[in-house]
Amino acid sequence: MEDTKILVIDDEKNILESIKMVLAYESYQVDTCSSGLDGMELFKTLNPDIVLLDVKMPGFDGIEVLKNLKNINKLSEIIMISGHSGIQEALEASRLGAFDFLEKPISREKLLLTVRNASEKVNLLKENYNLKGISEKKYVLIGESPVMKKLKETIQRVAKSDSTVLIFGHSGTGKELISRNIHHFSRRKDKKFVQVNCAAIPDELIESELFGHEKGSFTGAYEKKIGKFENAHRGSIFLDEVGDLSLKAQAKVLRVLEEGEIQRVGSAEIKKVDVRVISATNKDLKEELKKENFRDDLYFRLNVVPVYCPSLIERRTDIPLLINHFIEYFSEENNYKKKSFSKKALDMMINYTWKGNVRELRNLVERLLIMSENKTITENDLPDYFQVEEKTHEFSFQNITSWKQFKQQSEKHFLEEKLKEFSFNIARTAREIQLPRSNLYKKIEFLGIIIPDHSEADEGSPGS
């Protein structure tokens, strides 16, 4: 209770003194004021949790003061006090957001009960507000690298429309964050954002999850179920791993996109829905089209606005920013002690090949915050595989015996590092190192550089 701050505004001195005495005895922090105008100024300074406010005062009356206080801070609860029972005043005060209405003479028990209830509500509001703040930090896009600046600009432009968006990129790069940011900056931001992981739902249940079902429509359907599309009405739906949808489910998703209609499993009724569809995949959907695992008509409907999610090694300069963000986030959410990284440890993390991308970095930072005993995390705290990779990055002259061999080895080392940096995207690598793509292909073949099967080697403009 000693943490609950209360401001009493009343033009009657004896009322101020009696209320302060009762509440101070219960260990509340209490300040008093005898006019509405002074009360508004004191409110800005004190930022109290609860205000006890007289309705009838000279100058600014209680209703006017209530309006102003609610505009200043919506988290504070206002309890109105009146010497004359007035239904109209009580209704007006309630409409403007007053917590409760007390009549003079004020009963001690009624006063304490009302203040205690208001205090509980304020604490709940504060908790929800803090949780919301943590949640927003969780989904913020961190990064000032050129690729991230371009991505943020793209999100701002895309968010203004209702066009479907297809987010593509490697696993762990943050496709969900992009989808949430698109929703957040759209006109639908106050409506629901519904997420569906298409890869995690069995084929026999995916239609029920997406479109709902009627009671008894199949074995185990014990009650009616509202589907994800219907639940996202007027909001956004995020279809993660959309490449894993069955062909039958794909046909129904296409119907939603083209007609805005859904049909629950086991129902003849057709329902209209207004949903913005954002989807994501780390599969090569063009290859899935060739294999006839994905419908070409659905692909073109989903891919109206393609958004590329860069891998972490394409944005190494963002790694220190991401590390600081994760330290702040985990310290606040899980009450971990804040720690810092030594320059050597930070350099090793910047140069590391993050196969798991931002997700891998995030998990490692959390583990180091838990397991490291010192305030500063050093290179010795990093997993052993960091030491191994650092050694493989070192260029050795020991076995080089000729200028020709040196030239070939240095070329190979340079090209391997650049290809890794740009996720083995040959078109992008060629453009960045200012080498014709055809020449880069020849160098890769001649030097025996291995390109992983999952790479997007030909992505980019033909003139790269």
Residue 45 lies in a domain: yes
With H, G, I as helix, E, B as strand and everything else as coil, classify residue 165: strand
**What is the residue-wise DSSP string for 367-423?**
HHHHH--SSEE-GGGS-HHHHHHHHHHS---TT--SHHHHHHHHHHHHHHHHHHHTT
CATH classification of the domain holding 94: 3.40.50.2300
Which of 101, 136, 171 lies at the terminal end of a domain, its last residue? 136
Amino acid making up residue 258: E
At 457 the pLDDT is 47
286 and 202 assigned to the same domain:
yes
253 and 125 assigned to the same domain:
no
Which of 293, 310, 327 lies at the terminal end of a domain, its last residue? 310
Tell me the helix, strand and coil percentages in the chain, rounded to 5: 50, 15, 35
Using left for φ > 0, alpha for ψ between -120 and 50, and beta otherwise, residue 241 falls in left
Provide φ and ψ at 260, rounded to 5°: 65, 35
At 85 the pLDDT is 55
- Residue ranges making up the domain that contains 370: 314-387
156 and 272 assigned to the same domain:
yes
Number of neighbours of residue 333 by Cβ within 10 angstroms: 14
355 and 367 assigned to the same domain:
yes
Q: Identify whether the C-beta of residue 119 lies closer than 8 Å to the C-beta of residue 126.
A: no
Tokens of 190: 């106050």
382 and 402 assigned to the same domain:
no
The set of residues, in sequence order, having a beta carbon less than 8 Å from that of 30 and lying 6+ positions away, is 6, 7, 8, 19, 20, 23, 24
Residue 141 lies in a domain: no
Q: Identify whether the C-beta of residue 101 lies closer than 8 Å to the C-beta of residue 77.
A: no
300 and 152 assigned to the same domain:
yes
At 464 the pLDDT is 35
Provide φ and ψ at 271, rounded to 5°: -115, 145
Q: Identify whether the C-beta of residue 52 lies closer than 8 Å to the C-beta of residue 7.
A: yes
Residue 407 lies in a domain: yes
Residue 344 lies in a domain: yes
294 and 320 assigned to the same domain:
no
At 391 the pLDDT is 57
- The C-alpha atoms of residue 48 and residue 191 are separated, in whole angstroms, by 32
302 and 323 assigned to the same domain:
no
- The C-alpha atoms of residue 150 and residue 188 are separated, in whole angstroms, by 23
CATH classification of the domain holding 258: 3.40.50.300
Q: Identify whether the C-beta of residue 377 lies closer than 8 Å to the C-beta of residue 326.
A: no
381 and 342 assigned to the same domain:
yes
- How many domains does the chain contain in total? 4
CATH classification of the domain holding 337: 1.10.8.60
Q: Which alpha helices (H) appear in 241-351, and where do they start and end?
A: 247-259, 285-290, 296-302, 319-334, 343-351
256 and 382 assigned to the same domain:
no
Which of 335, 369, 387 lies at the terminal end of a domain, its last residue? 387
344 and 400 assigned to the same domain:
no
Residue 99 lies in a domain: yes
Residue 294 lies in a domain: yes
The overall average pLDDT reported for the chain is: 85
Point out the residues of the chain with pLDDT beneath 70. Answer: 1-2, 84-87, 127-137, 388-400, 452-464
Number of neighbours of residue 186 by Cβ within 10 angstroms: 21
Q: What is the pTM of this model?
A: 0.61
Q: Identify whether the C-beta of residue 144 lies closer than 8 Å to the C-beta of residue 282.
A: no
- For 6, 13, 69, 87, 456, the CA distances from 9, given in Å and listed in that order, are 10, 10, 12, 21, 68
23 and 167 assigned to the same domain:
no
CATH classification of the domain holding 442: 1.10.10.60
DSSP 265: B
